Amino acid sequence: MEPLSLHFLHEQAGAHFSNLGGREAVADYGDSEAEYRAAREAVALHDASYRETLRITGEDRASFLHGMVTQEVKGLAVGAVAYAALITAKGAMVADARLLKREADLLMDLEPGTGAKVREFLDKYLISEDAELHEATGELALLRLLGPRTPEVLAAALGAPFEPLGAAQSRTVTLAGAPVGVLSPPPFEPHGVDLWVPREALERVWGALVAAGGPHGLKPLGFGALELLRVEAGVPRYGQDMVDTTIPLEANLTSAISYNKGCYIGQEVIARATFRGHMNRKLTGLLLGEAEAVPGTELRKGEKKVGWLTSVVHSPAQGQRVALGYVHRDHLDPGTELTLAEGPTVKVAPLPFRP
């Protein structure tokens, strides 16, 4: 397991650790509920440096990647951020990625454990284009500020007012003496920002944010609380709710797909599914009450299997356990009652679970 760059700093703060795709992450700091409340009501700071980064350079970098992902790349402005999926010729997912177009390169922000797979997939199609793939996880690390007081913390850390970013935008600032890329909010926290930090400046930037956030109630936040925010927002995660047999439309990834771009790997499958107007199954929300269940648990209608759970959390917003899961299209109406394999009744619910 690849340790976090700030392992000892987190250890001093009482962190418990977990393994994500072969990389270390902070699971919690001893009180996930307090961490969650800070992100919802004040501000929280998450070390997401376990995520992986791929950098693409060369004159043909944009046109090459444009043909490899489901999203528009060639038309992106410098500084623009986009969410995309990489899929096989049969339409099944290889991974998902957030893209950042910079003046001299393209960055891909990836789930931990997927970097090598994505690079191998891209390498297979990189033949005569002037494009080079670089592993950049050792160069850049991601931090996440979450919560409504994020602007105040950034302003205090920067020593100047922070103007909110528009959707899918980025800006470079100088924070703790380092050039830091500030990206528009992650999909599960509209008040937050992501910070792409040079890894050699990570400890300095973390310390500056903690100091600036103290008067605003900042707490460090572990992966457990982050997952709770994600599931309540109805956002799927590759490796948990999406795997290498998932078709993006099954996981509601319409925001990752451009229908106006040219050809890309797997486009015909997406086009056929869109023309047909439905998928046989879709990711949806499920209200479990106090029923205990784990990812992979079957969902049934009578004696027939109609789906399965992928993520399960206890939601403060709903006051009960909730889940994400795949359900056959005949049973997707909100309020539809299904049973878990173990017997309890659960209800289909619209996403997100909270605004």
Question: What is the residue-wise DSSP string for 103-118?
Answer: SS-EEEEE-TT-HHHH
On whether the CB atoms of residues 86 and 97 are closer than 8 A, the answer is yes
pLDDT at 323: 98
Q: What is the pLDDT of residues 263-287, one digit of tens each?
A: 999 999 999 888 777 789 999 999 9
Q: 182 and 302, same structural domain?
A: no
Lowest mean pLDDT among 47-51, 68-72, 187-191: 187-191
Average pLDDT rounded to a whole number, residues 235-259:
96
Give the domain range for residue 284.
Answer: 280-354
Task: Please tell me whether residue 219 adopts helix, strand or coil conformation.
Answer: strand
Q: What is the pLDDT of residues 103-144, one digit of tens each?
A: 999 999 999 999 999 999 999 999 999 999 999 999 999 999
Among the three residues 89, 104, 135, which one is the final residue of a domain in this structure? 135
Does 58 reside within a domain?
Answer: yes
Q: 163 and 31, same structural domain?
A: yes
Alpha-carbon distance 248 to 86, whole Å? Answer: 9
pLDDT at 275: 78
CATH at residue 41: 3.30.1360.120
pLDDT at 251: 97
Which residue's entry shows tokens 């990389």?
A: 23
pLDDT at 89: 94
pLDDT at 187: 84
Q: 160 and 25, same structural domain?
A: yes
pTM: 0.95
pLDDT above 80: residue 164:
yes
Does 19 reside within a domain?
Answer: yes
What separation in angstroms does the CA of 199 have from each of 49, 143, 251, 327, 339? 9, 11, 32, 41, 47
Does 268 reside within a domain?
Answer: no
Average pLDDT rounded to a whole number, residues 42-52:
98
Our CA angle for 202, 149, 197, nearest 5°, is 15
Q: 131 and 154, same structural domain?
A: no
pLDDT above 90: residue 166:
no
Count of the separate structural domains present in the chain: 3
Among the three residues 135, 157, 187, which one is the final residue of a domain in this structure? 135
On whether the CB atoms of residues 104 and 57 are closer than 8 A, the answer is yes
Does 42 reside within a domain?
Answer: yes
Does 85 reside within a domain?
Answer: yes
Q: 221 and 146, same structural domain?
A: yes
